[in-house]
């Protein structure tokens, strides 16, 4: 299954990647940022693009995800210190991702919400029918995200589901220590930081809630990932374990040490917000493995170890100093053109004064050249400023010989000023326009270059994935080509040998030395047919599989059994082979490492089982077609050719350690062959055989029986009037 995770790096993202990788899925990550933040270990491929990138559609087209999970309320890309600004970013990001998702017309979109959509107090657990009540920008954004998902489902027909987590908490990521949302939404982490900063924890016993650990949330999320269809579009996920701030604070203070105290800040009426997970539990089942007592201790130890990253007052002061320096640099950069203008005005003022009355330069207007120079260099703003300085210099020079009133009343003064401003503003406008056009062209070129880089990155990823899949398909032992090639080798064996070597081939494909195949004798018991090791025989020659409830229930539902609890009474994996809804064979596997007990390995076991079933079915059909020729007329005695072929198969398998068997030579005495065959057949198991060999004597083949167990059969035959002995050397 292809799964696309959308969000920043945090403990929830890491847990999801570990879970999906363990179950054999391909996990892709859209980081939401172009910067190298987080390694995203266990991700099949990483796409480092911001949410506003135009390449999201290409990413969805490339991945074609079956499941898309948007971290939403738990996305570390959003720092809610400026909630108003982040609210706009959040809505834009979700819209862009959902639009790209809806265009592929396939898959399921999972949006992770939180209990923050409820801010009032509720005496009972809150179910999914309860209307939201929220006032903060962050809560409103999360609630609007839910509504956007519902609208896309109704209008676009896409499969969207909203999962509301109840007070989700996790071990915070030290790399995200400055992210407000990562701390504010985590009550344990918030109290730990408060304790380090102040030496005390403010706690309100009237604030009642329920905590949900990230690993438990991941298990619940994965159930919605695996489900072929969902009955609802909104589910609450909650531990249902009620606690309050005072109790949690005491746990944290106890682990922090004696120098941390709990300050009782209980005021007002009780505020209770606990989500009801009944709808989710009824449909999928919900088990909580982690409790706040043990997890809070881990969080305290982690934050104490990295306290310098979470409480960094000195760094805050450094940031303020850096911001002041940055502001000063901006102001200085803006002032430089004005200072240049003032400095350049002085020589032009002096040149203009020297030119007055000069024979050669009297008609040269230095002020006009000065204005045009700054209009060409800087544009309209500096052209206007230089024109104002030029007018002031002109009026000052005129008042050397005339009064200020004469200068103001002179018509030529206003003509010259108009000429100066018109030329300066026109040239400045042209300069600004050229600068704007150049900037737009440069921006468009940069945009196209970024697009080209993005396309190259996506194409590089696609080529890498394609090459990996080609190698897997052609060369790897677990590719379908290799599996079919190996299982097809069963066709070269005699019909009676197929099941023996099926165990050997299964062991090779699963890469395990311990494999057993049981044949179902009736609706309760199965008998061991072949096994590749002593470990694989430890369940015994006969098992009542219906009593092995943990294994039987998945097999009954035609699913692969995976021994996740590592129960020694069961194999690590098992699969049943059916024929017309009747269980015929049970494949059991031991000796595989925990990390390979995944959904991918289970699917491979199913495929191998079907291929083995085809080989067995062909063998059974062949034997059924020859049934009249194999048995002596009217008896259960196999003819010489059929019995010798069967004995040869069992002895060959025994020599290779695939099975155990014992051959008994029967002394007929005064009895005839037919009567002996009918009498002895009633004393044998369904998996045992009786027949004649080339010497004309009667023999019994006891499958999965050693010499010690054969004594019981010999005594049983003797009580019926037939003597028998173990035949050690059989010549065929």
pLDDT digits (tens, 9 = 90+) for 145-169: 999 999 999 988 899 999 999 988 8
Specify whether 654 is located in the same domain as 706. yes
Contact 221, 20 (CB under 8 A): no
Does the residue 503 lie in any domain? Answer: yes
Which among 576, 598, 625 is the end of a domain? 625
Q: In angstroms, how far is CA 268 from the centroid of its own chain?
A: 42
- Tally of CB atoms within 10 A around 680: 24
* pLDDT of 443 strictly over 60: yes
Specify whether 281 is located in the same domain as 349. no
Which among 435, 455, 490 is the end of a domain? 435
Q: What is the mean pLDDT of the chain?
A: 81
Specify whether 72 is located in the same domain as 134. yes
pTM: 0.54
Does the residue 588 lie in any domain? Answer: yes
356 contacts: CB under 8 Å, gap ≥ 6: 362, 397
Specify whether 105 is located in the same domain as 198. yes
Burial of 646 (0-12, 13-18, 19+ CB in 10 A): buried
Does the residue 464 lie in any domain? Answer: no
Domain count for the chain, please give it.
4
Report the pLDDT value the prediction gives residue 216, as an integer from 0 to 100.
92
Which among 311, 346, 366 is the end of a domain? 311
What confidence tens digit (pLDDT) does each residue in 213-243 have? 999 999 999 999 999 899 999 999 999 889 8
Does the residue 449 lie in any domain? Answer: no
Does the residue 469 lie in any domain? Answer: no
Report the pLDDT value the prediction gives residue 667, as an integer from 0 to 100.
84
Pull the structure tokens for residue 150.
């519902």
Report the pLDDT value the prediction gives residue 367, as an integer from 0 to 100.
83
Specify whether 226 is located in the same domain as 117. yes
* pLDDT of 495 strictly over 70: no
Average pLDDT over residues 256-281: 84
- The whole-angstrom separation of Cα 516 and Cα 522 is 18
More confident: 344 or 480: 344
Average pLDDT over residues 373-379: 86
Specify whether 633 is located in the same domain as 612. no
Specify whether 360 is located in the same domain as 492. no
Instruction: Please report the beta strands in 173-257, taking only residues with DSSP state E, as ranges in sequence order.
Output: 200-203, 207-210, 212-213, 234-237, 242-244
The lowest-confidence range among 238-247, 316-325, 525-534, 718-727 is: 316-325
Report the pLDDT value the prediction gives residue 163, as an integer from 0 to 100.
95
Specify whether 136 is located in the same domain as 54. yes
Does the residue 443 lie in any domain? Answer: no
Does the residue 460 lie in any domain? Answer: no
Specify whether 26 is located in the same domain as 83. yes
Specify whether 488 is located in the same domain as 596. yes
Does the residue 382 lie in any domain? Answer: yes
Specify whether 30 is located in the same domain as 148. yes
Contact 518, 585 (CB under 8 A): yes
Domain CATH for 170? 3.40.50.720
Residues spanned by the domain of 720 = 628-726
Contact 130, 143 (CB under 8 A): no
Specify whether 672 is located in the same domain as 555. no
Domain CATH for 533? 3.30.450.40
Contact 430, 459 (CB under 8 A): no
* pLDDT of 699 strictly over 70: yes
Contact 701, 647 (CB under 8 A): yes
């Amino acid at each position: 299954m292809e799964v696309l995770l959308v969000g920043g790096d945090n403990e929830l993202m890491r847990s999801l990647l570990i879970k999906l990788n363990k179950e054999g899925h391909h996990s892709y990550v859209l980081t939401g940022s172009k910067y190298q933040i987080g390694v995203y270990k266990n991700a099949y491929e990483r796409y480092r693009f911001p949410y506003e990138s135009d390449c999201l559609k290409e990413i969805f087209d490339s991945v074609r995800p079956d499941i898309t999970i948007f971290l939403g309320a738990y996305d570390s890309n959003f720092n809610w210190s400026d909630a108003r600004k982040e609210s706009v970013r959040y809505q834009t990001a979700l819209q862009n991702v959902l639009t790209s998702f809806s265009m592929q017309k396939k898959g399921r979109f999972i949006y992770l919400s939180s209990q923050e959509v409820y801010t009032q107090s509720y005496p009972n657990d809150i179910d999914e029918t309860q209307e939201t009540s929220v006032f903060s920008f962050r809560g409103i954004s999360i609630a609007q995200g839910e509504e956007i998902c519902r609208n896309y489902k109704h209008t676009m027909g896409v499969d969207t589901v909203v999962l509301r987590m109840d007070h989700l908490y996790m071990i915070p990521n030290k790399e995200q220590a400055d992210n407000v949302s990562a701390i504010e939404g985590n009550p344990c982490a918030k109290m730990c930081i408060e304790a380090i900063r102040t030496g005390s924890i403010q706690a309100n016993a009237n604030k009642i809630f329920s905590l949900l650990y990230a690993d438990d949330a991941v298990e619940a999320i994965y159930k919605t990932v695996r489900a072929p269809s969902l009955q609802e579009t909104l589910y609450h996920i909650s531990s249902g374990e009620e606690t309050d701030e005072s109790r949690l604070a005491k746990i944290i203070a106890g682990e922090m040490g004696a120098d941390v105290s709990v300050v009782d800040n209980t005021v007002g009426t009780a505020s209770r917000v606990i989500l009801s997970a009944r709808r989710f539990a009824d449909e999928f089942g919900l088990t909580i493995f982690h409790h706040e007592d043990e997890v809070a201790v881990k969080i305290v130890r982690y934050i104490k170890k990295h306290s310098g990253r979470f409480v960094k007052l000195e760094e805050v002061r450094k940031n303020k100093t850096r911001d002041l320096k940055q502001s000063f640099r901006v102001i200085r950069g803006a002032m430089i053109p004005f200072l240049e203008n003032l400095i350049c005005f002085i020589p032009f003022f002096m040149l203009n004064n020297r030119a007055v009355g000069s024979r050669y330069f009297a008609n040269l207007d230095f002020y006009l050249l000065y204005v045009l120079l700054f209009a060409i260099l800087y544009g309209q703003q500096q052209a206007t400023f230089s024109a104002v300085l030029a007018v002031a210099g002109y009026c000052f020079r005129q008042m050397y010989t005339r009064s200020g009133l004469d200068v103001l009343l002179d018509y030529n003064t206003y003509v010259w000023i108009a000429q100066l401003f018109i030329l300066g503003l026109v040239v400045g406008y042209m300069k600004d326009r050229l600068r704007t056009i150049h900037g737009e062209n440069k921006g468009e070129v940069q945009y196209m270059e970024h697009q080209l880089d993005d396309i190259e990155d996506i194409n590089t990823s696609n080529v890498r994935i394609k090459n990996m899949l080609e190698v897997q398909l052609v060369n790897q032992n677990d590719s379908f080509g290799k599996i079919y090639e190996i299982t097809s080798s069963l066709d070269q064996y005699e019909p009676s040998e197929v099941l023996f070597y099926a165990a050997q081939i299964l062991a090779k494909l699963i890469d395990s030395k311990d494999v057993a195949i049981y044949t179902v004798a009736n609706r309760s018991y199965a008998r061991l047919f072949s096994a590749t090791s002593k470990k694989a025989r430890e369940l015994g020659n006969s098992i009542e599989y219906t009593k092995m409830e943990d294994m039987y229930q998945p097999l009954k539902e035609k699913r692969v059994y995976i021994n996740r609890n590592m129960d020694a009474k069961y194999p690590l994996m098992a699969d049943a082979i059916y024929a017309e809804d009747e269980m015929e064979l049970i494949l059991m596997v031991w000796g595989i490492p925990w990390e390979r007990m995944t959904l991918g390995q289970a699917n491979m076991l199913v495929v191998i089982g079907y291929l083995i079933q085809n080989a067995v079915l062909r063998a059974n059909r062949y034997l059924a077609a020859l049934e009249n020729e194999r048995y002596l007329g009217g008896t259960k005695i196999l003819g010489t050719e059929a019995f010798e072929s069967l004995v040869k198969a069992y002895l060959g398998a025994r020599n290779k350690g695939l099975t155990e068997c014992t051959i008994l030579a029967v002394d007929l005495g005064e009895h005839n062959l037919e009567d002996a065959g009918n009498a002895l057949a009633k004393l044998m198991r369904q998996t045992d055989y009786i027949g004649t060999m080339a010497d004309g004597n009667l023999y019994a083949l006891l499958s999965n029986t050693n010499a010690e167990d054969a004594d019981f059969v010999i005594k049983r035959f003797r009580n019926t009037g037939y003597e028998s002995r173990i035949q050690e050397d059989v010549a065929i």
